[in-house]
């Protein structure tokens, strides 16, 4: 944020949101961000209108395998939605205000609820590969060193200077996920704390041990910055992690984390995750003008 003034960020987001709204009749109230290998969620959207990131003003370009790099508008369970098939990361070289720019664009387009997914390494020893962790809290490691999405001049049009983060992950949405999983007969849902690192290298054994002792149940390279910006802007947030690999914490282990494993686990759980998210969206209620449901 320090590299660019708050006014410029707002103007960029407004230009982008106005361009998108002028090219589609959809007025989304739900925003979805698909993580690695989880882009299939967008296939459930009815009457899709698709925009390549490269065609959208001010949008960065996704460079990660498993990320389609496109924005999909349409309806999901009757709710107007916009879905990111692929997100942006610090390790791609983008400044943090660019990584989170789409979230602010969503806010200006009228999005009220954000649903975010990611692939993560399991630190909790009770987690199995293929489990899905509902995120109840996070540890923002890049933020500790000052790489925080709200650093720099605050723009009150987005939110307050010092937002509370103890309630960033909406409790009702988390309960809705557990209710949906119970209805679908899913027994692989967990709930825990997600820790974000900058990447792109996977964590060392010592780092995994440290993060586990700090209270993290899963570790990844995304989501937290987006949630901070969304919560700052007054959007309800729900996020889940697909546990695609078990973090290595034993020096005698021959296991190695790799991106191919991440994508393969995504394919394995894709259909079930799509059903879970779509069932949650079906139960969402629209806010009225004073912000209540």
- Among the ranges given (47-61, 63-77, 231-245), the one the predictor scored with the smallest mean pLDDT: 63-77
Cβ neighbours, 10 Å, residue 56: 18
- Percentage of the chain with pLDDT > 90? 74
**Model-level pTM?**
0.92
DSSP 246-271: EPP--TT------HHHHHHHHHHHHH
Catalytic residues: 36, 67, 89, 91-92, 119, 221-222, 245, 259
pLDDT of residue 266 exceeding 90, the answer is no
As a whole number of angstroms, the distance between CA 43 and CA 20 comes to: 20
Nearest alpha-carbon partner for 113 in 50, 165, 181, 172: 172
The 10s digit of each residue's pLDDT in 216-251 is 999 999 999 999 999 999 999 999 999 988 888 888
CATH of 6-282, one of 1.10.1060.10, 3.40.50.1580, 3.40.920.10, 3.90.230.10: 3.40.50.1580
pLDDT of residue 90 exceeding 70, the answer is yes
Q: Which two tokens stand for residue 162?
A: 């010092």
Nearest alpha-carbon partner for 24 in 44, 49, 42: 49
DSSP 139-170: EEHHHHTT--TT-SS--TTT--SS---TT-S-
Contact 217, 205 (CB under 8 A): no
> Mean of the pLDDT values across residues 163-179?
97
Mean per-residue pLDDT of the chain: 90
């Amino acid at each position: 944020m320090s590299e660019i003034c708050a006014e410029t960020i707002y103007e960029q987001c407004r230009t982008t949101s106005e361009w998108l709204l002028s090219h589609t009749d959809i007025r989304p109230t739900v925003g979805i961000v698909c993580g690695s290998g989880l882009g299939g969620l967008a296939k459930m959207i009815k009457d899709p209108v698709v925009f390549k990131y490269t065609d959208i003003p001010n949008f960065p370009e996704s460079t990660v395998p498993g990320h389609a790099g496109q924005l999909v508008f349409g309806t999901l369970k009757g709710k107007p939605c916009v879905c990111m098939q692929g997100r942006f990361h610090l390790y791609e070289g983008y400044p943090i205000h660019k990584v989170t720019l789409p979230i602010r664009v969503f806010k200006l387009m009228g999005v009220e609820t954000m649903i975010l997914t990611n692939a993560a390494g399991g630190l909790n020893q009770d987690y199995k590969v293929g489990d899905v962790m509902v995120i109840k809290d996070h540890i923002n490691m890049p933020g500790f060193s000052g790489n925080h999405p709200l650093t720099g001049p605050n723009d009150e049009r987005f939110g307050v200077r010092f937002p509370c983060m103890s309630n960033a992950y909406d409790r009702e949405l988390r309960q809705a996920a557990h209710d949906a999983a119970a209805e679908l007969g899913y027994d692989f849902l967990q709930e825990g704390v997600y820790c974000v690192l900058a990447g792109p290298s996977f964590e060392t054994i010592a780092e995994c041990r440290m993060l586990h002792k700090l209270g993290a149940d899963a570790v990844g390279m995304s989501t937290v910055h987006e949630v901070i910006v969304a919560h700052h802007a007054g959007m309800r947030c729900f996020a889940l992690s697909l546990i695609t690999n078990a973090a290595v914490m034993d020096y005698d282990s021959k296991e190695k984390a790799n991106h191919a494993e991440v994508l393969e686990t995504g394919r394995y759980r894709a259909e079930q995750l799509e059903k879970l998210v779509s069932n949650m969206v079906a139960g969402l209620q629209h806010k009225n003008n004073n912000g209540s449901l």
